[in-house]
A and B are shown apart, each in its own frame.
Chain A
Amino acid sequence: MIFVTVGSQLPFDRMTAAVAEWAHARGRTDLFFQTGATKLDLAGFANMPVLSGTEIRGQFDRASLVVAHVGTGTIIECLLRGKPIIVVPRSSKLHETRNDHQFATARRFQHRAGVFVAWDEKELPALLDAADALAGGEAIAAHADATLLAALRGFVTETA
C-alpha cells in the first residue's frame, strides 16, 4: 500500500496528480490519498481530504511506502516506523506554500536512510517505478536527542 499525504494545511495537487497519473498508467489501485481541498478527480482510488490523528497513524502503519510533501511531522512518522518515504518540496513560486523552506528541509533530510527526494513531480514516476528497491532506514527513537532533553530539563530547574 502506498500512502500519499499532503498534510493538514493546504492541498498539493501537483504531487497528488502526478502520483495518480502514475498509478493509472501502471494499473495500481493499492493507494490511499490524503489530498486536502483538492480539485482533482480521484475516482477509483481511496481518498480523503483530511484524516484524524488516529486515521493517519493507521495509514502510516499499513503503508509500505509514503509519498508526501516535505512536512517534518510526516517525515518523523516514517522514520519512527523505518518506512521509506518519497518527499516532494512545495514551491512558493507556484503558491504551494509561503516560502521555499521545504526545499531546505529536503536538502537536509535527503541524506537520511529511507528518505528519497523528488525535486519536482517529473521525477516521481521513475522513483515510484523503483519503489520496491526503496528501503526504509532503521527505526528512530520515540523522543528527541538526549542532549536536547537534558538541556530542557536543566532549564526548568534553573533558578530564575
Chain B
Amino acid sequence: MLLVSSSGGHWTELRRLAPAFEPFERVWCSVLPEMRSEVKPDRFELVPDASRWDRLRLLWSALRVAMVLVRVRPDVVVSTGAAPGFFAISLARFVGARTVWLDSVANAEELSLSGQKASRLATLTLTQWPELGEPLPATPAQRKSGAVYYTGSVV
C-alpha cells in the first residue's frame, strides 16, 4: 500500500489511519525528511510539496510522485491530501492501483477542490462529515462511481 499526504493536518490524519493498514505492506510518502523516523520500520518516500500557486513546483511534485508510483508499484493508494496525494490518486491508475481519497476533516462544509476532482478519479472517495456524503454501502458492488461516501472520521 502507498499512503500519501502533505504535512501538517493532512499527515496527522493519515497517521491516524495506521491501524487499518497493519496487515499489509506499507510505504508512506510525504514531504518532510523527519517523517522517515516516525514511520520506522515502514518504508518512507520523500516527495516535494507544492501549492496551487506555484506551477513549476507542482509539476516537479507530480513527477516525483509518479516516480514513487513506478518504484513502489502499489496495489492500493490512500491519501488524505493535499497536492502530492492528489497526484498519487490521479496517476495511480497507470500502475493499476486502486485508490481511496479521504477528504480532510478540515473540509467541514464542502469537499476540498482536490477532493472534488479526486472523486472523479478515485476508486473510493470518503468525506469525514455525514452531511457531505452518502452512507458507505456494505458491499463494493453497491458503490456508484464518482459518489462521495461517509463512514466515520479520523477524530
Interface residues of A (CB under 8 A from B): 7-9, 52-54, 70-77, 79, 98, 101-102, 104-105, 107-108, 140, 142-153, 155-156, 158, 160
Say yes or no: B100 contacts A152, CB within 8 Å. yes
Interface of A is mostly: helix
Residues of B1-24 contacting chain A, CB below 8 A: 1, 7-13, 16-21, 23-24
Given contacts A76-B12, A105-B106, A107-B108, contact A144 B152 (CB under 8 A): yes
B38 contacts the other chain (CB 8 A): yes
Give the distance to chain B from A48, nearest Cβ to Cβ, in Å. Answer: 15
User: Are B151 and A147 interface neighbours, CB within 8 A?
Assistant: yes
Known A-B contacts A53-B34, A101-B108, A148-B152; the reply to A142 vs B76 at CB < 8 A is no
Report the contact-size class of chain B (Cβ under 8 Å from the partner): 35 or more
Interface residues of B, Cβ cutoff 8 Å to A: 1, 7-13, 16-21, 23-24, 32, 34-35, 38, 52, 75-76, 78, 98, 100, 102, 104-110, 112, 123-124, 126, 128-129, 136, 140, 151-155
- Are B152 and A151 neighbours in the complex by a CB distance under 8 Å? yes
In the complex, what's the smallest C-beta–C-beta distance from A100 to chain B, in angstroms? 9
- The answer to whether B17 touches A72 (Cβ under 8 A) is no
Find chain B residues with CB under 8 A from A98 CB.
52
Those 10 A-B pairs whose CB atoms lie nearest each other, nearest first: A145-B152, A72-B9, A73-B9, A148-B152, A147-B152, A73-B12, A152-B20, A104-B109, A149-B20, A144-B154
CA distance A104 to B105 in the complex (A): 10
Report yes or no: A143 in contact with B124, Cβ–Cβ below 8 A. Answer: no
A144 vs B110: C-alpha distance when bound (angstroms): 21
Contact A156 B24 (CB under 8 A): yes
Taking a contact as CB atoms under 8 Å apart, the answer to whether B108 and A104 are in contact is: yes
Taking CB as reference atom, which chain B residue is nearest A156? B76
Q: Which residues of B contact A140 (CB under 8 A)?
A: 155
Using known A-B contacts A53-B38, A156-B76, determine if residue A142 contacts B16 with beta carbons closer than 8 Å: yes
Set of chain A residues within 8 Å of B128, measured between Cβ atoms: 148
Neighbouring A residues of B140 by C-beta, 8 Å: 155, 158
| Closest Cβ neighbor of A7 among chain B residues | B8
**Least distance between B125 CB and chain A CB atoms (Å):** 12
CB distance from B48 to the nearest CB of A (A): 15
Question: In the complex, given contacts A8-B7, A144-B16, A152-B20, what are 17 additional A-B residue pairs having Cβ atoms less than 8 angstroms apart?
Answer: A52-B34, A53-B32, A71-B8, A74-B9, A76-B155, A101-B108, A101-B109, A104-B107, A105-B108, A107-B109, A144-B155, A148-B153, A149-B17, A150-B20, A152-B100, A153-B23, A155-B100
